[in-house]
Amino acid sequence: MTENDHSSTDDQTLVRAAQKGDMAAFEELVARHRDKLYARAFSMMRNEEEAVDLSQEAWVKGWQRLGQFQGESSFGTWMTRIVINLCLDQLRRQKRQRTESFEAINEESGGVERQMPVVVPNPTAELERAELRQRIDQALNQLSHEHRTALVLHEFEEMEYKEIAKTMDCSIGTVMSRLFYARRKMAALLAGLKKEDLR
C-alpha cells in the first residue's frame, strides 16, 4: 500500500493496520496528528527543541503500545495523553534537578492569588487578536510548570478536575488551587499589570 492510498483512509482503519505492523499506516497517523502533539508538548514545555524531542518520543511509545489501544477514545486523544505524560515526567525530572526559586515556593504554598486585585473590566476586551495571542503566550511562559499544566489540561484538553488530579498525581484540592492561581495570574498578566501590582 502506498502513502497516497492511506491519505483517504480513516484513523480507525489506519490504527488497525498499524497494529498488525503496517509502518506506512502508522506514518500516515503521525503525519495527521504530529502538529497537535507538538503543540501540546510546546504548551507544556515552552521550549521548541524539547517539544520536538518529546513528541517524537511519544510517537515511538505510541507504536510500542499500539496493541493496548482499544479505541475507547480517539487515536489523537490517546496519543495526546502519551505526550502529556512524557512532558510531566520530564518536568518532574527538571524540577528535581533545579533549585526552586523563592517565587515558585511562594506559589506552591498558595496565598498570593487570594489577595490579587480583581481585574475589571474584562482584561482582554480591548486587545487585538494578535496582541491577545502574544500576551497569552507570554503569560503562559511566566507560570510555573504546575500551574501552566493545570491550565493547559483544563482549558485545552478539557479535562475535569478529577482527571487532571490523576494525570498530575495530586489531589483535586491541589488542582483547584493551581487552576485558580494560574487563572488569576493570567488575568493580571493579560491586563498588563506589573509584577509588583500582584503582591
Partner 1 sequence: MIAYETQLKIQALLDDELSPSDARRLAETLAQDPEARALLAELKGTKAALKSFEEPFTLPETREFFWSKIERSIQAQPERVVAGAPLWVAWRRFLVPVSSLAALVLLALLTLLGPGGKGPEFEAALSDPGAFTYRDYSTGATLVWLSYPAENEFAQEEPTDTIE
Rounded Cα gap, residues 112 and 142, in angstroms: 15
- Which cell numbers hold the place of 18? 498499524
Contact with partner 1 (CB under 8 A) among 7, 12, 13, 23: 23
Q: Which of residues 50-79 bind partner 1 (CB under 8 A)?
A: 51-52, 55-57, 59-60, 63-64, 66-67
Among 93, 133, 166, 195, binds partner 1 (CB under 8 A): 133
Rounded Cα distance between 143 and 149, Å, is 9
Q: Give me the residue label for grid cell 482582554.
A: 124
Of 48, 58, 63, 62, residue with least CA distance to 87: 58
- CA-nearest of 116, 124, 132, 99 to 181 is 116
58/109 Cα distance (integer angstroms): 32
According to CB under 8 A, which residues from 104 to 123 bind partner 1? Answer: 114-115, 118-123
Select the span of 38-46, 79-87, 101-109, 142-150 touching partner 1 (CB under 8 A). Answer: 38-46
Using CB under 8 A as the binding rule, the residues of this chain from 155 to 194 that contact partner 1 are: 155-156, 160-161, 176-177, 179-180, 183-184, 186-187, 190
Task: Match 499500539 to its residue by C-alpha cell.
Answer: 66
Chain residues that interact with partner 1, rule: CB under 8 A: 16, 19-21, 23, 27, 30-31, 34-35, 38-39, 42-43, 48, 51-52, 55-57, 59-60, 63-64, 66-67, 114-115, 118-125, 129, 132-133, 136, 151, 154-156, 160-161, 176-177, 179-180, 183-184, 186-187, 190
